[in-house]
Structure formats: structure tokens, C-alpha cells
Structure 1
Amino acid sequence: MKAPEAWYNILADLDFDLPPDLPPPAYRDGARLDPQVPLSLIRQEMSRKRWIPIPAEVGRRYARWRATPLRRATELEAALGTRARLYYKYEGDNPSGSHKLNTAIAQAHYYKAAGAKRLAVATGAGQWGTAVATACRMFGLECVVYMVRTSLENKPHRRTIMEMLGATVIASPSDTTGAGRRFTDEHSGTLSIALAEAMEATKEPGTRFCAGSGETYSLLHNTVMGLEAHEQLAEHGEHADIVVAGLGAGSNFAGLAFPFLRPGFGPTRCVSVEPAACPKLTRGRYAYDFTDSSEQNPLQKMYTLGSRFVPPSMHAGGLRYHATAKIVSAMYDRGLVEAVAYQQREVFESAVLFARAEGVVPAPESAHAVHGAVVEAAKADRDGRSPAILFSLSGHGLFDMAAYRSYLDGRVDVDIEVTEEDIARSLAHLPAQPEPV
């Protein structure tokens, strides 16, 4: 099949408006960083059109690896002894190794057209940094990546591939920005800090900040996954009863799930899976918060643990973001999508089972979706059901061998506990909650 020619915009089919973004205190005080998002992306952010055409140049780049495979996990089904039918959408077979390239290419296209010379990005596990480095190489842009320090140390090969593609990679927190210098050299880093550093990099002329997974347009660009999967399942005479995907900020989950929530295409349960070490939907608060540690970006209403939340050390670095995309948050608040949280030990157990059965090593982030699907299959068996379960394998784990080595050596054997006190301490720093006009 061919890749889609338009992205699906779920805002057209929601019967409510999202809470508006609000200016942060820094804006009111006259001190503010401006990411200079192109008007083309802002229009996509605000649009209520159901279909947004994919530019020809972006579509041409997509065609190099899209449509991506939809595979039935028959060996995993046999290993589980389940009556459920398990399908996975595999997004790891592209130069960046994950679904992140879907929006990286689109954003590089729009930023180049708007006159950008360099893109500054933050990355947790490295998939987003790799995707933007790949897209910048395609469009002749420079790229600087602020990578969470602990992830960079655990995944040095991610740095290698980004630098091979021409990007500059900086461990965050760093001493190159004021935001980074607020923290000690011993700080393991958070995605919120890395985002603040990337934002500050826009002070250099020609540099624009590029957001990977929380903004509405990045969710939009990833709907190619769900659109393809829906058509591919139909070719098998199937419709997904349950859709499962890992949740960082929301682009992977939304990209797969949203097309299945179109009117007339259900019913489908859409289940997001987050790590117990960073449980923003399952234990966070629905409130206005900063999107990063700079506290200078517009406030968004979202499920959040607070921008100062520092998750415990864990191997799924791409799921460490403190909050959830505002569309996903609003839909979860209204019960339109579901959320669960699991410990990394049980996630790795399912990941190893999947690798042995299906011959693909999932990234730790993708392993959350694998485990979510395994759990849903077990529930269905207990209830005497045999649903079709679709899950996202959003990236491969070939750069994550240190994490798998830890699991196989028995060092991932203690469940991570985030206490209510930890969450309350971070939420205490939420900005004053204004009532939007």
C-alpha cells in the first residue's frame, strides 16, 4: 500500500474545545524566549479541518520507508497461549530507528521554508535527536541536540549516530546555557531541563526550537501510523478492538490511536502505557503547567507531575517527560482514552519474550506497548474474549543493549517507587492556576 496523502486531525471530530494556552509569568514580566514556530505549523495547531494535506516534498521523503509493516505476532500468541489476535505496527525500519522521523521530516520542511538555518532540540533516549539529525541532513540544516545526561551515558551509540549525521550533541544539563548552569554537574538531567536548554539556543540568529512529541502538530504528523494500520488491518478482515502504545508526551500513542477514534470506525479501546517511574496520566494532576524548566513557554493545561519533577533512574529515557500532550490530556480527562502504568522489570520481561518469539528487539519505550498488549491478552483470556489487539513497536532496541544486559544480569530487579510526597513536592511548584478567558 501507499503512504497516506494527508494527516488526520482529530480536533475536527472532538465535540469540545481544548483549554487555551496562556502566557507564562515571564511573558508578563517582559522576559521571554521565542521559539519562532513557523506560521504553517501554528495553522496546523489551530486547524479544525479533518484532513491536512501532506506536502509533496514530505510525501516523497516518507515514500522511502512508508508504508511501514503491520505484522501479526503469531509466535508471541503461541508463547502466551492466548486466543487474542496480536498485531504490531513496526516503526523501527527507517534511518532514525523510530516513529519520530514522521514529524521530524515535516518540521524540517516547514522550518526550512520559514528561513531557519539550524534546529535546536532536546532528546531523552535519543530517538528524537536522531530523527531531527536525519531530517536536518535531508534539508541542509544544522542541528544541535541537548540529550539528557543519564541517557547519553547509557546510550553512547546514539551520540555517535547523531554526530555521524552532522549534529552537535551536548549532555544536559550543560554549562553552555543559563538553564543548564542552574543545575550541578552531578545532576542526571531531565527532559524538562534539556528542553529549556534547547529553547535558550534560539538566541543564536537563525536557530529555531523544534518540539518532538507534545505539540498538536507533532501528534498530527504521526497519524500516518494509525491510518496505515487501519487500512492494513482491513486487508486482513480485522478491526482493532484494542490499541496499545507507550506514552511519553503523546506522539506515538496519538499517532497510532487517533485514526481509530474517528466517528463510525469504532468501537476501539485505546490504552496508553506509561512507566511507573513517571506516571503523569495515572497519578498526575490536570492543570496548567510549564512545558519545560525555562518557565518561559506558554502554559498548557495537561496532566502533569510538575516541570520540576525528576523521575528515578530508568531505562526508558524517552518516557521521562513530566507531562502529557494537551489533546491526549483533555481526552483522558473525558474518559475517551485509557492509561496504565507498569514497572520496568515486568516491561523487560515482556520485551525479552517478544524478542525471543518474534525476532525483533524492542526499544525500552516500545516494550511498554508490548507489555500492555500482553496484559490485555491475558485479561481477554480470563474473560473468554478473543479481541484483535494492535500495538505500536515504535522503535528498535539495538542501541539499548546496556539496559537489556542489566535485566539479564538481574540488576533490574527492584520496582521503582515514586511516593506521593515526591509528586506533591513537584506539584507544589505549579504556576498559579488562572482561569482562562
Structure 2
Amino acid sequence: MERFASRRRCLIPENFFNIRPLLPSLPPPPLHPVTGSPLVPEDLRAIFAPGFVAHEAATETLVPVPAKAMEVLELWRPTPLVRAVGLERHLGVKSRILYKYEGVSPTGSHKSNTAVVQACLAAADGVGALVTETGAGQWGSALAHACTRFGLRTKVFMVRASFRQKPGRKAMMNLFDAEVVESPSASTASGRAASAGDPDHPGSLGIAISEAVEEVVTGGCAKYALGSVLDAVLMHQTLIGQEALAQLREMGCEPDVVIGCVGGGSNFAGLAFPMLGEVLKGRMKCRFVAVEPEACSSLIRGSLRYDNGDCAGLTPLLYMHTLGRDFVPPPIHAGGLRYHGMAPLVSHCVASGLVEPLALGQDEVFRAARAFLNAEGILPAPESAHAVAAAIREALEAERQGFAMTILFNLSGHGLFDMSAYAS
């Protein structure tokens, strides 16, 4: 078996893959946060660009990638699919371990896939600026880069814990002319409420989302962009899994298990959903494992119910696994996974038994990241390292039981901006 898969231009999918038409059942619909009625597209247009709303409402299995977005995406796509021979040797296992490496994007993570599409759609709709939140900074960096490509202004509310831990990410966003605001901030009512009585509040993605949405609603001249959770964002990320399927076929193998870390769920869904589609069609047999941090384990510790995607209750009510919108996660180093909820589609797949949840502790995750660095020469982002740790668990368990398997995981980003986390 070859160590490196082909990266020919023809492997880039021309369409996004929408899992919804293939699922045996669907999650309950999002509800309006004020009326409690099912959302209609007009409700979403109050904060999102019309083109994005059309993607969110898509009912087709295949949705075309906009041509102008493709011109940017092909700068780094298709991304590498690599057999982790060094890691296999380090572990002493017979199983094959493969990873899809999204860290080759301009800002170093999978987030650029949807950022480019959202900026492209917004520009086509005549939007002048996008406002968003970011946890560890990957999403904010990706959107800032995408907005420069399409002539849009960018404002990013960055969770305080990461704002202080990861100054390199802030610097990158500034280089793309983005305005970066520490969250909770004093510039919004939701930010002031969150930090009342605690000026050193670590912040959370839920709070930062509230601030970004409030900015859009009260400002009136910008639209909101979201880096995970919603169906359209997950759909944009399926470029990852579609490419991986084509590359795996060229390499002559199929995975026995597919693994990704989950905070909001987009990088996991991006790799897993195209393969889940093959499973649902009866063309593949495969397990799917969604890995989250023990400190913020919505799939295992949370409840499946309606909840807001933000802390102030400004966003639609989503039927998802949630720890509660008021939950403030500990300031763990995997800032991109510090979210109280989960994508409704990922939650539904877990509840339906199609996806297995797994929660891992930070120490095990960082040990896995160090092992991967020494074996493969790539330092994973702390978020992505959760998938590395789960892959190592699978390989060692298979070895203990005396069989070999093929393990595929999403290495969703590099950790070169996370050195302070690794140092501490």
C-alpha cells in the first residue's frame, strides 16, 4: 500500500454532499428563539447572507460548489491522505493508520473550506462585512483570509482564554485586516452581562457567538458567519470526506473506523458524512467515532433537547446535545472544542446509533500529540490531537485482541500557533 495518496486536481469534488436526504430520520427543526415556531428561511436572512441560507435549506444530496469559491479552494485542495507508517512503527501495531491532513490550508485548518464558501456567497449577495466568533482562532483566521479574497471586512470576537493563550492567531487575523475583539467585551450588552462581577471571565464560544450576533442585529450593515454546528457548514466540509473516499479507492482500501474530534462537529462530519452515506447505501461497513474533551463533553454528559447556540439566547433553538447555554467550560487548551452544544445532525447520528461518542482527558491527548510529532513530523492542533489519541486507542486495542484494522482520522489542523499550550 502506498504511503501517500494522489493529490490530482480531478479529485476535488464539484459538489458538496448533503447527508440529510439519506438519513433514516431527521432531527426536529430549529425553532425561532422568540416565537418558538419552526424557522423559515426569512428568519435566518436577518443575520445570514441569503446564499448561505439557501445552502442551509438545501434538500438535494449534491449541492454545487460555487465556481469562484473553487478558484480559491484549489490552491490547497485536494489535501493529503497519508498512511502514518511512523506512528504504526512507534506503536508496534499491525493495523494501518491513515490521516487526512487539513493543516495545509492557508491558515492551517479545515475551517478554510467553509470560510471561503461563506465569503464567496456573501460577496455575491452584496454584503460588505462579516462578523463572527472564534475559539482557538482557527475559524477567525480562516474567515479573515477568505474575506480578503472576496473584498469583505471582518470582525472577530475571540474567546478570552484563547485570546491570551494564542497571540499568534490574533496577529494572523490582524494581518488579514480583521478587527479582533477579546470576548467577553464591553462593546456589547451580552459581553457586559457575561463579565459582570468577573472581569477575568475566561469566555466561551457561546458568549462570543452572542456578541457577534448582537453586533449584526444592532449594526445592520454586516452579516454573521458561523464556523460549525449548522447543516450548511457541515455540508461545506464534506469536500474532505469525498476526497478521502476517492483517494482510498485509488489506494485500494476502506476504513474500518473513521475518527474526528468534535466541538461543534464540522470537521468530524466533513470526513465522516460522505462515508456514512456509503454505509447507508449498503456499499461500506464502517464505524464512526466522534471524540470530545472530558472537560466539555456534550455528547456524553449533555442532554438531547432544544437549546440556544449562544449564551444570551439570541440564536435559534437547536435540537442538540447540550450542557446548557449557561455552561462555561474550563479554559482547556483545545479552545476550539470549548462549546456547550453540538451540531444537530451529529447529535442525531449519535442518538440514532450511527456514531459512537468518546471523551478523552487532556493529558492523554497531549501525549498522543507528542507521539505523533515524533513519529510523523507534524504537530497537531490540540483539538485535532483528540482524534490522534482515539486512533492510537483503536490501534492498540486491535493489537491486544490480535487483529489488524484500517483506521482513518481527520488531522484537522496543525498546532504551530499552539506552542504556549504545549509548553505549559
Tell me what 2:55 maps to: 44
Offset at 1:35? 4.5
Q: Which amino acid aligns with 2:378?
A: V
Query: Which consecutive residues of structure 1, in runs of 5 or more, have no partner in the other structure?
Result: 407-437
Asked whether the 8 Å contact 2:49–2:224 carries over to 1, the reply is no
SS in 2 for 1:267: coil
SS in 2 for 1:273: strand
Q: Which amino acid aligns with 2:241?
A: G
Q: Which amino acid aligns with 2:234?
A: L
Q: Does 1:266 pair with 2:299?
A: no
1:204 to 216, 219, 222: 219
Tell me what 2:141 maps to: 130
Tell me what 1:417 maps to: none
Tell me what 1:85 maps to: 96
- Following superposition of structure 1 onto structure 2, how do residues 169-184 of structure 1 map, counting pairs within 5 Å? 169-184=180-195
Cα distance in 1, alignment partners of residues 75 and 333 from structure 2 = 30
Q: Does 1:345 pair with 2:363?
A: yes
Offset at 1:34? 6.8
Q: Does 1:167 pair with 2:178?
A: yes
Cα distance in 1, alignment partners of residues 115 and 411 from structure 2 = 18
Cα distance in 2, alignment partners of residues 241 and 126 from structure 1 = 32
Tell me what 1:194 maps to: 208
Offset at 1:343? 0.3
Offset at 1:38? 2.9
Change (3 A) 1:27 1:346: same
1:53 to 64, 77, 96: 64
Offset at 1:83? 1.1
2:353 to 318, 335, 354: 335
Q: Which amino acid aligns with 1:113?
A: A
Offset at 1:397? 0.3
Query: Which consecutive residues of structure 2, in runs of 5 or more, have no partner in the other structure?
Result: 1-7, 38-42
- Following superposition of structure 1 onto structure 2, how do residues 22-421 of structure 1 map, counting pairs within 5 Å? 22-25=31-34, 35-184=46-195, 185-202=199-216, 203-262=218-277, 263-406=281-424
Offset at 1:183? 2.5
Asked whether the 8 Å contact 2:49–2:127 carries over to 1, the reply is no
Offset at 1:33? 9.9
Asked whether the 8 Å contact 2:257–2:288 carries over to 1, the reply is yes
Cα distance in 2, alignment partners of residues 53 and 383 from structure 1 = 44
Cα distance in 2, alignment partners of residues 35 and 305 from structure 1 = 27
Cα distance in 2, alignment partners of residues 374 and 230 from structure 1 = 22
Tell me what 2:17 maps to: 8
Q: Which amino acid aligns with 1:247?
A: V
Deviates more, 1:257-266 or 1:224-233: 257-266
SS in 2 for 1:129: helix
Cα distance in 2, alignment partners of residues 11 and 27 from structure 1 = 23
Normalising by structure 2, we get a TM-score of 0.93
Percent of residue pairs bearing the same amino acid type: 47
Task: Report the RMSD for the aligned CA atoms in angstroms.
Answer: 1.4
Deviates more, 1:183-192 or 1:98-107: 183-192
Change (3 A) 1:35 1:389: farther
Asked whether the 8 Å contact 1:33–1:200 carries over to 2, the reply is no
Q: Where in structure 1 do 4 or more consecutive aligned residues deviate above 3 Å?
A: 25-28, 32-35
